[in-house]
Amino acid sequence: MRFRVSLAAVLAALLCAGSLTAHADPSDEPPPVPGVTLPNAAPAITGTPVAGTAITVAAGPYADGTSLTYLWYHETDVRPFYTATDPNYTVREADIGTKLYAIVIVSQPGLASAHQKTGLTASVLGQVVGQTPKIKGTVKIGKTLKAAIGVWTPGAKLKYQWYVGGKAVKNATKKTFKIPASAAGKRIYFTVSGTLSGYQPLTKTSKKTKAVPKPPKKVKKKATTKKTYVPPSQPWSPTNRGVV
C-alpha cells in the first residue's frame, strides 16, 4: 500500500528532527524602547544623618512627567529597607552606626526606566536627648540652688555650668550653686550638656531666676553729744550761789 505525504508534513518532520532550523523574521521582533534621559549629575544625600532627623535625596533636574521612586539601603544591604516616592527619610535608632545610600528609579511614560545611585552618608549618629532643666531653691545671697535636669539618655556624661548676670562663673560646674554676694541684683541660670560616644551631643539651658535681692542697707546711727554740767568759774559766796 502506498501513502502520499505532503511537502508540509515532510518539512514539519524535518524541523522536529533538527535537520532544519527555523529563523524568525526580524520584522516580528518589537523595536527597542528608548530609555529615560538622565542628568549628568548623580543624586546626593543632604543633611546630617542623626537619629530622629530627616535627610533628603537631591536629584535631577528631570523632564516634566517624570516619576521618581527612592530605595533606601544600609551599606551592606542587598534589598532596600525603605521605599518611598518622597525624597525625605527620617533616620531611625536602628540605623545608628551604619552608613546609608539611596537608589533613584526614574520613570517616564513610554520610556524604559533607569536608575541612579547616591554616595554613602557618614555613619549614622544617635542623638542625646534630655528634658529642659529647672532651678530649685531660694534665690537669696548665701542660699544654695540645685539643678533639676529630669531624664536624659542613659549613659550620657553630663556637665554643668552656672551663670550670673549672663557671665559664666568660674569653677561653678557642679549640680549645686551657692549664691555669692556679688550676684546681688543679677539673674542666675545654668546649662547642662550631655555627651555619649556615637551620639550627637545636646546642651539645654534653664530659665533665669528673678534678680537676686540686694541685702538691706545698714542705717548708721548719728553720734549724740552728752551734755554735762559745767560749774561757774566764780567762787561761791553768799551773794554768788553759782547762779550765772
Same domain flag for 109 and 150: no
Q: 25-29, 31-35, 41-45, 75-79: lowest mean pLDDT where?
A: 25-29
* Residue 186 lies inside a defined structural domain of this protein: yes
Alpha-carbon Rg for the chain, nearest whole angstrom, is: 45
Q: Regarding beta strands 114-117 and 167-168, do their DSSP bridges make them parallel or antiparallel, or are they unpaired?
A: unpaired
Q: Which of the two residues, 233 and 114, has the higher pLDDT score?
A: 114
Residues 119 and 146 occupy one common structural domain: no
If you count DSSP H runs as helices and E runs as strands, how many of each does the chain have, helices first? 1, 16
Number of domains in the chain: 2
Residue 215, C-beta contacts closer than 8 angstroms, at least 6 positions apart: 141, 181, 184
**Per-residue confidence at 219, pLDDT binned at 50, 70, 90?**
confident
Residue at grid coordinates 540605623: 95
Residue 183 contacts residue 215 (beta carbons within 8 Å): no
Taking the C-alpha atoms of residue 164 and residue 172, their distance in angstroms, rounded to an integer, is 10
**103 and 146 together in one domain:** no
Tell whether 147 and 198 lie within a shared domain.
yes
The parent domain of residue 151 ranges over: 134-205
Global pTM value: 0.63
pLDDT at 163 > cutoff 60: yes
- Domain holding 50: CATH number? 2.60.40
Both 149 and 194 in one domain: the answer is yes
| Measured distance CA(107)–CA(101) in Å, rounded | 20
State whether 69 and 120 are in the same domain.
yes
Note whether 105 and 72 are within 8 A (CB): no
